[in-house]
Structure 1
């Protein structure tokens, strides 16, 4: 995926889905003790990391 300069990308550890952090692709869910967390729209995993 090619991103414009300054855009941060996120990737799912489970299914390798990747998209810009701010393009609206990512979903959020609420964890009882953590609050709002990012969730992969493809597989539902919350194991997400930033890609440089």
Structure 2
């Protein structure tokens, strides 16, 4: 939920293209309204994926 709030603040109208579990963590693929993503948004997604690797249990 935190990622969603942070993405909305930086990229309103973003779209989740794919969300899946992979190797014990979550992988998220998003697209911005213009089709691209800022470096800041990519960093937020990468941080959320890294955090999932230490908090998810599969």
TM over 0.5, shorter chain: no
**What TM-score results when the alignment is normalised by the length of structure 1?**
0.28
Structure with bigger helix share is 2
Alignment TM-score, normalising by the size of structure 2: 0.26
